[in-house]
Chains A and B, each alone.
Chain A
Amino acid sequence: MGSKPRIATVSLAGCFGCHMSVLDIDERILTLAELVEFDRSPINDYKEFQDRCAVGIVEGGCCNEENVEVLEQFRKHCDVLISLGDCAINGGIPAMRNNIPLRECLEEAYLKSPGVYNPLNVIPNDKEIPLLLNRVYPCHEVVKIDLFIPGCPPPADAIWAHLVSLLSGKPVEPDYKNLKYD
């Protein structure tokens, strides 16, 4: 593999909005492509890690067992792990189920809610479907996270600034205007 630093990204319990924001760096994506090599990421659709990565970017928290497994892999293969966006940091929208027992959530989603067409009255239970966790966990409750970039999604400029600092070995200094939301 080349000598460029490698980046991996993943969307766990997220909406891909944070990934869209990564793409929103516009033409700077070309500069990025020159600076780094993409490892495992939805951008190139690699499903396994190719090599050790300098930076791992995680969107979304952990809502099921597979998210945990993937997050564990990311921790193992990445030097710096970033929680990107409010879902990764706080659980976000998916965590709204956290105060409701799992059974009730599933019944509401598959059996009871208006507009549901489910003549056999089953809750999907295929072996391929990962088991849900009792609640949605923010990433830093599962593995150690090195950097948090808040926002829903975080602005492209904030993501860009963080990546540039990290890749050039400069201290990461959040820019107030990119991280204030009121």
Chain B
Amino acid sequence: MKQGTAQVTAEICKKFGNDRTRLMDIAIAVQDRFGCVSHEAMEEIARQVRSHRVEVESLVSFYAFLSVKPQGKVVIRLCSDIVDWMKGYKDVAEAMARELGITMGETTPDGAITLTHTPCIGMSDQAPAALVNSVVVTHLTPERGRQLVRDLRRHLDPQQLVTMVGDGNNEHPLVRAMVRNNIRMRGPVHFADFEPGSALRKAVEMTPADVIRTIKDSRLRGRGGAGFPAGLKWEMAANAPGEKRYVLCNADEGEPGTFKDRVLLTECADQLMEGMTIAGYAVGSDTGIIYLRGEYRYLLPYLQSVVEGRRRQGYLGRDILGRKGLHFDIRIQLGAGAYICGEETALISSCEGLRGDPKNRPPFPPQEGYLGCPTIVNNVETLCCVSRILLEGSDWFASMGSSRTTGTKVLSISGDCRKPGVYEVPFGITARELIEMTEAENAGTMLIGGPCRQMIGPDRLEGRICYDDLATGGAIIIFNRARNRLEIAEHYLDFFIEESCGYCTPCRVGLTLLKNQVHKVIDGAGEPADLVEMRDLSNFIINTSRCGLGQAAPNPVLGALEIGDLSSGFVAERKPGLLPGFDLSKAVIDAELRVGRQSKYV
């Protein structure tokens, strides 16, 4: 048996050329094969790729989908994000745990099934949802949860759980997922017909500099959240010194409440890969990588087939479209359950076979990115836009949207509304229009761009979706008036605390301090000074964290502070001189019970 692990692990390493930078793929393959990456396997990997065991272990311990200890043959990961809580997560989780006879985080004694939870898996419009290994199940109820467990017990084959498949390419033989696209509004950029190869043909008629010029003229800004001008990024990479350049597509889509890239990957894979190829031509790169979040692994075989199809058609590979010397190929890098890997420098680390730690900037990726080479990282949607811009022209694109934010935006809308799903809308649309479109009744709070961005209240509904007003990467979550904003903020603090990479103190420690303070007010034990401290601490974390995670994590707290009157969370002074939040009678109760006498000070 011992021999077996080492031998199989060595074979897996060999399959990836014993290449240290492919450590992610190696670890994932070992995890698949053995249900864990054991110490023995880590030793062997280190030997084969000429690394150190601690380096392998630092990677394995970082990613949620990799584990040193054995997992069940089937791992059920329930999405425990806030939308799922609103749709009944708790009852489903309890029903499944009871049916399995274990608690959350445990494995059945026979080693068959593990039950655990995970942040947003990109199915917020069909919550509560779960991953069973890589199979997605949606719209769970306690009864369906119990049935699922019974079925799994019988066959231990997640794919057999899929009795009904979704629409569009979810039906494709290589996908066969019960996921639904829920495309509620089809815009002209992403959901119009697209003829593979057509945009690429236009691109190669131009010089690379002209392609960049076209993207600049369209004023396309990055759709992943930050809104950096795409043309400028490309120009920087094209001008940066270096032998080799890379085009990375960010398909990590980790922001809670975002699922639009999932739909684009399902329905517009050709348009996306064509955008990458055009980017490659423009910046002088022959290699692209799609970083696909582990949660979307069910799309991998299909995406792989699109890559192969494009190679056959001459849109990828060597001498593209028959042009001598024009090479570009794509590989798909699977992630393994780490939100931070959506941050572009962490994504690069992960592609390099490292922990998903963000890197220091500068140098920025277009100067020195993947393996130290000039690299552009663009969101899925950004790259889809590129193909359409090449087809229809920059003027056409720039004529849509608002004055400073051109084009359309694909939004993923979920929460308290009748019509959750994907909407391609022109930039400049108001929050109120979104509420009307999705038939959200009694909306009290909206998260524009997931927890990373703004939380707005009913007084901001005339605000417009664009980079100068309500900026968003695409996640819109609607909450009705009965929902407590501080509780929403606390839920997301838990998420950020879990996903923090731990590198810097303000984020690692500060977020927990902030959560404690928020909890105190939710508990009704707060006092006005807590709100001041929360604001100070939030700003401190924002100003001193190293990467975008810590710089954004306090935003929901700041939103809740700004929108609403939180005085219901205050207690009256108990004793003159003592702070209202300090309750001596509660603080001594343990001791009173122990010694059987009462405090003389209470």
Q: Which B residues touch A103, using CB under 8 A?
A: 590, 594
Restricting to A28-74, which residues have a CB under 8 Å from any CB of B? 65-66, 68-69, 72
Instruction: Identify which of A68, A106, A144 contacts B601 (C-beta below 8 A).
Output: A68
Q: Which A residues touch B600, using CB under 8 A?
A: 65
B575 and chain A: residue at smallest CB distance: A72
Q: Which B residues touch A131, using CB under 8 A?
A: 588, 591-592, 595, 599
Q: Which A residues touch B579, using CB under 8 A?
A: 141-144
Q: Tell me the complex Cα distance, A103–B590, Å.
A: 8
Instruction: Check: A121 CB closer than 8 A to any chain B CB.
Output: no
Q: Tell me which of A17-25, A132-140, A155-163, A171-179 binds B.
A: A132-140
Q: How far is the CB of B275 from chain A (nearest CB, A)?
A: 47
Known: A102-B594, A131-B591, A131-B592. A65 touches B577 (CB 8 A): no
Instruction: Identify which of A69, A101, A127 contacts B590 (C-beta below 8 A).
Output: A101
Instruction: Check: A4 CB closer than 8 A to any chain B CB.
Output: no
Instruction: Identify which of B581, B589, B595 contacts A134 (C-beta below 8 A).
Output: B589
Known: A68-B601, A69-B601, A125-B595. A102 touches B581 (CB 8 A): no
Q: How far is the CB of B580 from chain A (nearest CB, A)?
A: 11
Restricting to A96-132, which residues have a CB under 8 Å from any CB of B? 101-103, 106, 123, 125, 127, 131-132
Q: Tell me the complex Cα distance, A66–B584, Å.
A: 11
Q: How far is the CB of B573 from chain A (nearest CB, A)?
A: 12
Tell whether, in the assembled complex, residue A141 and residue B582 are in contact, meaning their CB atoms are under 8 Å apart. yes
B588 and chain A: residue at smallest CB distance: A131
A126 and chain B: residue at smallest CB distance: B595
Instruction: Identify which of B529, B582, B584, B594 contacts A106 (C-beta below 8 A).
Output: B594
Instruction: Check: B482 CB closer than 8 A to any chain A CB.
Output: no
Q: Tell me the complex Cα distance, A123–B587, Å.
A: 20
A135 and chain B: residue at smallest CB distance: B587
Tell whether, in the assembled complex, residue B599 and residue A134 are in contact, meaning their CB atoms are under 8 Å apart. no
Tell whether, in the assembled complex, residue B582 and residue A137 are in contact, meaning their CB atoms are under 8 Å apart. yes
Known: A65-B601, A68-B584, A125-B595. A102 touches B590 (CB 8 A): yes
Q: Tell me the complex Cα distance, A147–B582, Å.
A: 19
Tell whether, in the assembled complex, residue B591 and residue A127 are in contact, meaning their CB atoms are under 8 Å apart. no
Q: How far is the CB of B61 from chain A (nearest CB, A)?
A: 22
Q: How far is the CB of B342 from chain A (nearest CB, A)?
A: 32
A132 and chain B: residue at smallest CB distance: B591
Restricting to B393-420, which residues have a CB under 8 Å from any CB of A? none
B595 and chain A: residue at smallest CB distance: A125
Q: How far is the CB of B423 from chain A (nearest CB, A)?
A: 47
Instruction: Check: B597 CB closer than 8 A to any chain A CB.
Output: yes
Tell whether, in the assembled complex, residue A65 and residue B582 are in contact, meaning their CB atoms are under 8 Å apart. no
Q: Mark A70-100, 1 if CB is under 8 A from B, else 0.
A: 0010011000000000000000000000000
Restricting to B424-477, which residues have a CB under 8 Å from any CB of A? none
Tell whether, in the assembled complex, residue B586 and residue A141 are in contact, meaning their CB atoms are under 8 Å apart. no
Q: Which A residues touch B581, using CB under 8 A?
A: 141
**A: contact size bracket:** 20 to 34
Q: How far is the CB of B258 from chain A (nearest CB, A)?
A: 35
Tell whether, in the assembled complex, residue A143 and residue B591 are in contact, meaning their CB atoms are under 8 Å apart. no
Restricting to B536-566, which residues have a CB under 8 Å from any CB of A? none
Q: Tell me the complex Cα distance, A106–B593, Å.
A: 13
Tell whether, in the assembled complex, residue A137 and residue B601 are in contact, meaning their CB atoms are under 8 Å apart. no
Q: Which A residues touch B587, using CB under 8 A?
A: 65, 68, 133-135, 137
Q: Which B residues touch A135, using CB under 8 A?
A: 587
Q: How far is the CB of A136 from chain B (nearest CB, A)?
A: 10
Q: Which B residues touch A69, using CB under 8 A?
A: 601
Q: Which A residues touch B582, using CB under 8 A?
A: 68, 137, 141-143
Instruction: Check: B578 CB closer than 8 A to any chain A CB.
Output: yes
Instruction: Identify which of A75, A101, A102, A106 contacts B577 (C-beta below 8 A).
Output: A75
Q: Tell me the complex Cα distance, A103–B575, Å.
A: 28
A69 and chain B: residue at smallest CB distance: B601
Q: Which A residues touch B594, using CB under 8 A?
A: 102-103, 106, 123
Tell whether, in the assembled complex, residue A134 and residue B577 are in contact, meaning their CB atoms are under 8 Å apart. no
Q: Tell me the complex Cα distance, A102–B590, Å.
A: 7
Q: How far is the CB of A124 from chain B (nearest CB, A)?
A: 10
Q: Of residues B579, B589, B602, which shows the largest number of chain A Cβ atoms within 10 Å of its Cβ?
A: B579
Q: Which A residues touch B589, using CB under 8 A?
A: 134
A73 and chain B: residue at smallest CB distance: B577
Tell whether, in the assembled complex, residue B595 and residue A142 are in contact, meaning their CB atoms are under 8 Å apart. no
Tell whether, in the assembled complex, residue A65 and residue B590 are in contact, meaning their CB atoms are under 8 Å apart. no
Instruction: Identify which of B575, B577, B588, B595 contacts A133 (C-beta below 8 A).
Output: B588
B533 and chain A: residue at smallest CB distance: A140
Q: Tell me the complex Cα distance, A151–B591, Å.
A: 31
Q: Tell me the complex Cα distance, A176–B559, Å.
A: 34
Q: Which B residues touch A101, using CB under 8 A?
A: 590
Known: A68-B584, A75-B577, A144-B579. A134 touches B590 (CB 8 A): yes
Q: Tell me the complex Cα distance, A131–B586, Å.
A: 12
Q: How far is the CB of A108 from chain B (nearest CB, A)?
A: 14
Tell whether, in the assembled complex, residue A143 and residue B577 are in contact, meaning their CB atoms are under 8 Å apart. yes
Tell whether, in the assembled complex, residue A65 and residue B578 are in contact, meaning their CB atoms are under 8 Å apart. no
Q: How far is the CB of A103 from chain B (nearest CB, A)?
A: 6
Q: Which B residues touch A137, using CB under 8 A?
A: 582, 587
Q: Which A residues touch B601, using CB under 8 A?
A: 65-66, 68-69
Q: Tell me the complex Cα distance, A76–B594, Å.
A: 31
B529 and chain A: residue at smallest CB distance: A144
Q: Which A residues touch B578, using CB under 8 A?
A: 68, 72, 142-143
Q: How far is the CB of A81 from chain B (nearest CB, A)?
A: 11
Q: Tell me the complex Cα distance, A125–B597, Å.
A: 10
Q: Which B residues touch A65, using CB under 8 A?
A: 584, 587-588, 591, 599-602
Q: Tell me the complex Cα distance, A47–B579, Å.
A: 24
Q: How far is the CB of B601 from chain A (nearest CB, A)?
A: 5
Q: Tell me the complex Cα distance, A135–B588, Å.
A: 9
Q: Which B residues touch A123, using CB under 8 A?
A: 594
Q: Tell me the complex Cα distance, A137–B597, Å.
A: 22
Q: Tell me the complex Cα distance, A65–B578, Å.
A: 13
Instruction: Identify which of A66, A132, A134 contacts B586 (C-beta below 8 A).
Output: A134
Q: Tell me the complex Cα distance, A106–B594, Å.
A: 10
B581 and chain A: residue at smallest CB distance: A141
Q: Tell me the complex Cα distance, A47–B15, Å.
A: 77
B589 and chain A: residue at smallest CB distance: A134
Q: How far is the CB of A90 from chain B (nearest CB, A)?
A: 11
Q: Tell me the complex Cα distance, A103–B587, Å.
A: 14
Q: Which A residues touch B602, using CB under 8 A?
A: 65
Q: How far is the CB of B590 from chain A (nearest CB, A)?
A: 4
Q: Tell me the complex Cα distance, A168–B587, Å.
A: 39
Q: Tell me the complex Cα distance, A141–B582, Å.
A: 7
Q: A72-B578, A131-B591, A133-B588 are in contact. List 20 more A-B contacts (CB 8 A).
A: A65-B588, A66-B601, A68-B587, A68-B601, A102-B594, A123-B594, A131-B588, A131-B592, A132-B590, A132-B591, A133-B591, A134-B590, A134-B591, A135-B587, A137-B587, A141-B579, A142-B579, A142-B582, A144-B529, A144-B579
A-B contact pairs, 18 of them (CB 8 A): A65-B600, A65-B601, A68-B584, A68-B601, A72-B577, A72-B578, A75-B577, A76-B577, A106-B594, A125-B595, A131-B588, A131-B592, A132-B588, A134-B587, A134-B591, A135-B587, A142-B579, A144-B529
A-B complex: 3 closest residue pairs judged by Cβ atoms: A131-B591, A133-B587, A102-B590
